[in-house]
Chain A
Amino acid sequence: MPINYYIFLSIALFVIGIIGVLTRRNAIIIFMCIELMLNAVNLMLVAFSKMHHLANVAKDASAGIDGQLFVFFIMVVAAAEVSVGLAIIVMMYRNIHSVDVNFLNRLKH
């Protein structure tokens, strides 16, 4: 498959993620949208990594492998983020019985 498809899919996922973050007020959905953006990036990295590998495999057997390494890093970070983020959301729900981020505008004061 041409690389274009991957790129368009990835951009679509990323933009959906951004729009979700910007428009939704439910913390969990925002959270999911962030994950979506991360995964869009992952997809992109893997796609480019594969393309790069195919193009240079004759010169270097391990060409393009670093792109995939990044993906693993991002996954680890995402997992850590999820654990912390969900914990925050749980605490938030316990305190204000809501997961609406607009209630949490006390940063202003």
Chain B
Amino acid sequence: MVICIVALVVFSILGIGSARYRPAAKEAFKCVFRMIQFKPCNVQLEEKIKSKLTAKLMKAPRLASFTYKNFKTISWIFTIAFFASLVYSAYGIYNLIVYGSCDPNSATCRVNQFLQIIACYEIQMVSLIIVVAIILFAYFMIKKKNIKFVFE
């Protein structure tokens, strides 16, 4: 379900230039709209994305199998990465407007280097994503294998 948030943004942007993606954007919107009302998504967009993505990977069976079986984890990672990059970008833009630099503490990031906003935070972002991915992956694996921890 969480992948619908990413799908909404991605398909909406793609939909500006191509009518092909507009129905998918509408479906994603329906899904997100239901999600904010705490209702389950009923447009099966996640299933469609999962299956279509897996179908594209069928030439590499191991990768296809991994994607299919761990799609929930992957979609969480994508969603968190999406929000993390959104927050970092917003933070960078805020700094750029207020202080004239996307990272006032860094000497490498200047006003005229607007396109480097992401690059300024690249290392922090990647580290954060990796940590979150590991946590999520471990969580889903524990859940999947039904491993229980006993604390005395």
Same complex: no
